Structure 1
Amino acid sequence: MRKVLSSVFVAALFFGPASGALAQNIKVGTIFPMSGPAGPSGIDAAAAVRVQVELLNKKGGLLGRKIVVSQKDDESTPAVGVSRANELVGEKADVIFEGRNSPVALAMQPIIAAANILDITCSAKAEAILSGKGNAMAIRIISSNEIDAEAIANYVIDIKKANRVAIMVQNDAYGNDFRQLIENRLKAASRPIEVVLSEKFPFRHTDFRVPLTAVKAANPDAVIVINAATSGMSALIEQYRQAGITAQFVAGITLLTPEVVNASKELINGIVSGSGYLPELEPLKDIPAAKEFFEAYQRETGRAAGEEAGIAAQAVAVWASAVRSTNSLDKTVVAQAIRGKGVKGTNFGDVQFAENGQMLTKPSLFRVVDGPAWRLELVK
């Protein structure tokens, strides 16, 4: 006599022995420049996301589900970034980590927001990213232009005690935003500080001999440089030295990437810059999660993690912490657990976010003592 299969058994045949057995993977999307002038930095950031995700997967993933990564190249071009964002929308990404170049990040924001996907900016610094216009739930990990301008102005005014300052910036949302903020800060100083020259250049520019001639003629005490292109910053440093300019070179926060350091070698000695990610110094060196990522990144890539990698991994760590605390992947739920809140257990320890989604961080200023060995001296 045929026995009737129980509904429980039938369900097991189709759906497996447990309700979560066939739960879909969580999809993480990345959009960074993997080619072009900022390609090396984007490659570092994308690798960091993969490494951090693998660390999470080894511990069981999130919400009992495995995390997979879909990686896109925005080519440092806004139109390409929009296309890549649409691709990840089509792939139904649960979260997107993006943003090396501010113009690209700003172009992508409305696309990602309209698709109701959580969008976390890693490294793009323009203040407009957090304005709420492109993304009402914006979150950013790296320090903002405002934070950077304050740190650099404090160095130029109080430590270097410069009276004459030249400024060189890339002519885009990032560079122009920073230029206005730093000029405002210098004008507000308690003593007169003259901006003797303010030069703009295209993002993809690599020949700075003409503007550097003007810089040398202006005879500044310090030159503040904003150049996010790896090839461009390396060329600028070399040509600065060739021009025989003796004024203090002050590079924007996070712009001395490992690729710039490797290309510039001893030419980088004496340059002052800053970073929010110095994993071998306090406080990061004493945080287990920071050490775990740093060592895993070295094993996976064969190179040390720089700022771009550290910030991208921190973005994943912040997101994962918020997902765990809310037991949700919902964009609004997770974003509201981050914006204006403290987030615990990240690669940077317990961190705080402003109401507008900016991670509150204070860059550490340093002077390069030995470029080839990346030996630094903290500026206090």
Structure 2
Amino acid sequence: MSKTMKLAIAMLLGLTASAMAQDIKVGAIFPLSGGAGPDGQGVTNAIKLVAQQINDRGGLLGRKLVVISKDDESTPAVGVSRANEMIAEKADVVIEGWNSPVTLAMQPILARAGIMDITATSKSDLILNGETNPYAVRINSSNSFDAEAIANYVANTLKAKKVAFLTQNDVYGNGFQAAVESEFKKLNFSGEVIRTEKFAFKDTDFRVQLTSLKGANPDAIVVTSSSNSSGLPALVEQYRQADVKSAFVGAVGIMLSTVFKVAGDANNGIVSADIFFPDLPPFTTFPEAVAFVSAYKKAYGVDPDKGAALGAGALQVWAHAVEATKSLDRKTVAEAIRGKSIKGTVFGDVQFLPNGQMQPRYVMFKVVDGKNAKLEALQ
């Protein structure tokens, strides 16, 4: 082989390597199938949309973002496998987490590989305890923050005297119930918890639990569920069919568009809280939120729900920190987020606590037209 040909090949290989180096790989690990599949697809779509918006503005550090999407099937073992695949594919950051057990299984895998890991949705307080990921960052509100909002509504607004729980039996559901009960004690709640019924994430038949709760006749039933496309709509419909008279108080973030789409007007009267709404203030006053909602609706034909906003916010926050530090290093980027303020996200200007938790701002609401997903703000 001539020197000229060798030089040409070397130059070609160099150009190819340089082109490959231009891509920044953004991993997205969410359920894309099963009971939470449509929700995970919405989050993933939002991440892809924001990546495209960043690319349209010239990319990040002058480089193109490429989103690598994987299905964790809402199963910890599958999540671990997907995390290892992200490591093999040399992802620069991984945005993950619909189910807390899956996030907790993936965290140490990604941390040991030195990959920046941002939790978009999973709520367990254990995610930010620092033991498996000292540089953890979470966009969604946590169980403990959520519990304060819900406990205050049940005790001080609803003034319930008898409370029951219908709880998803995993680290998310059990953690949320424990946090609410702890908040009741802080509030010197004069009522009592009279019954707890539990179910598995994959359950779709809740008639036994609902019969038990109806017999107990509490003033309010606090409900957790992360199966927003399957289990929760079934639960809502069966709740109405059983003619349970108790107030249905949903945990923060469970009343998503997928629930309204399936269960329709069976959702009417449900009270819950959340940290993002596409058509309610203050979000309608944030330029980034307005632009995101418009672009998402144009791309996918529907308004983005809170899950989609969390995916978008996760990538926006990370990209802001990368631009500010001119680095992709996990520690450097994490320290530019944890305990800091980040401007210009779908959630407005946001503040992160030192442990990596984004400070949430809640809006309590009641469903007034479930078929058309119309809500009434209660505060």
TM-score norm. by structure 2 comes to 0.94
**CA distance, structure 1, for counterparts of residue 131 and residue 41 of structure 2:** 29
In structure 2, the residue matched to 1:4 is none
Report the alpha carbon displacement of residue 16 of structure 1 after superposing the two structures with TM.
8.9
Q: Work out whether residues 36 and 227 of structure 2, in 8 Å CA contact, stay in contact via their aligned partners in 1.
A: yes
Aligned residue-pair number: 372
Q: Work out whether residues 92 and 328 of structure 2, in 8 Å CA contact, stay in contact via their aligned partners in 1.
A: yes
Report the alpha carbon displacement of residue 289 of structure 1 after superposing the two structures with TM.
1.1
Q: 1:169 aligns with which of 167, 174, 189?
A: 167
Q: Work out whether residues 117 and 137 of structure 2, in 8 Å CA contact, stay in contact via their aligned partners in 1.
A: yes
SS of 2:371's equivalent in the other structure is coil
Report the alpha carbon displacement of residue 190 of structure 1 after superposing the two structures with TM.
2.9
Report the alpha carbon displacement of residue 347 of structure 1 after superposing the two structures with TM.
2.1
Matches within 5 A, 1:95-174: 95-174=93-172
Question: Matched residues, percent identical?
Answer: 51
In structure 2, the residue matched to 1:216 is 214
**CA distance, structure 1, for counterparts of residue 189 and residue 103 of structure 2:** 37
In structure 1, the residue matched to 2:310 is 311
SS of 1:197's equivalent in the other structure is strand
Matches within 5 A, 1:299-338: 299-338=298-337
SS of 1:350's equivalent in the other structure is strand
Q: Work out whether residues 31 and 96 of structure 1, in 8 Å CA contact, stay in contact via their aligned partners in 2.
A: yes
Q: Work out whether residues 272 and 365 of structure 1, in 8 Å CA contact, stay in contact via their aligned partners in 2.
A: yes
Q: Work out whether residues 187 and 193 of structure 1, in 8 Å CA contact, stay in contact via their aligned partners in 2.
A: no
In structure 2, the residue matched to 1:355 is 354
Which AA in structure 1 matches 2:23? N
Report the alpha carbon displacement of residue 15 of structure 1 after superposing the two structures with TM.
8.9
**CA distance, structure 1, for counterparts of residue 327 and residue 91 of structure 2:** 14
Which AA in structure 1 matches 2:167? V
Report the alpha carbon displacement of residue 188 of structure 1 after superposing the two structures with TM.
3.1
Which AA in structure 2 matches 1:73? D
Query: C-alpha offsets along residues 234-270 of structure 1, whole Å, 9 cap, x if unaligned?
Result: 1111111111111110111111111111111111010
Report the alpha carbon displacement of residue 288 of structure 1 after superposing the two structures with TM.
1.2
Report the alpha carbon displacement of residue 115 of structure 1 after superposing the two structures with TM.
0.6
Structure 1, unpaired ranges of 5+:
1-8
In structure 2, the residue matched to 1:258 is 257
Report the alpha carbon displacement of residue 296 of structure 1 after superposing the two structures with TM.
1.1
Matches within 5 A, 1:369-380: 369-380=368-379
**CA distance, structure 2, for counterparts of residue 161 and residue 349 of structure 1:** 33
**CA distance, structure 2, for counterparts of residue 234 and residue 343 of structure 1:** 35
**CA distance, structure 1, for counterparts of residue 112 and residue 126 of structure 2:** 18
Report the alpha carbon displacement of residue 305 of structure 1 after superposing the two structures with TM.
0.5
In structure 1, the residue matched to 2:3 is none
Q: Work out whether residues 321 and 346 of structure 1, in 8 Å CA contact, stay in contact via their aligned partners in 2.
A: no
**CA distance, structure 2, for counterparts of residue 272 and residue 336 of structure 1:** 37
**CA distance, structure 1, for counterparts of residue 204 and residue 18 of structure 2:** 53
Matches within 5 A, 1:1-380: 23-230=21-228, 231-380=230-379
Which AA in structure 2 matches 1:54? Q
**CA distance, structure 2, for counterparts of residue 14 and residue 103 of structure 1:** 46
**CA distance, structure 2, for counterparts of residue 30 and residue 239 of structure 1:** 34
Which AA in structure 1 matches 2:73? E
Q: Work out whether residues 252 and 274 of structure 2, in 8 Å CA contact, stay in contact via their aligned partners in 1.
A: yes
Deviating above 4 A after TM superposition, structure 1's stretches of 4 or more consecutive aligned residues are: 12-17, 19-23
SS of 1:143's equivalent in the other structure is coil
Query: C-alpha offsets along residues 8-49 of structure 1, whole Å, 9 cap, x if unaligned?
Result: x99x966999x9877420000000000111111101111110
Structure 2, unpaired ranges of 5+:
1-6
SS of 1:372's equivalent in the other structure is helix
SS of 2:148's equivalent in the other structure is helix
Report the alpha carbon displacement of residue 295 of structure 1 after superposing the two structures with TM.
1.1
Report the alpha carbon displacement of residue 88 of structure 1 after superposing the two structures with TM.
0.5
Query: C-alpha offsets along residues 105-161 of structure 1, whole Å, 9 cap, x if unaligned?
Result: 000000000110000000000000001112110000000000100000111011101
**CA distance, structure 2, for counterparts of residue 166 and residue 75 of structure 1:** 30
**CA distance, structure 1, for counterparts of residue 87 and residue 14 of structure 2:** 29
Question: Do the aligned partners of residues 364 and 13 (structure 1) sit closer, same or farther apart at CA in structure 2, a change above 3 Å counting?
Answer: same
Query: C-alpha offsets along residues 47-88 of structure 1, whole Å, 9 cap, x if unaligned?
Result: 110011111111011000000010000000000000000000
**CA distance, structure 1, for counterparts of residue 189 and residue 94 of structure 2:** 45
**CA distance, structure 2, for counterparts of residue 345 and residue 295 of structure 1:** 16
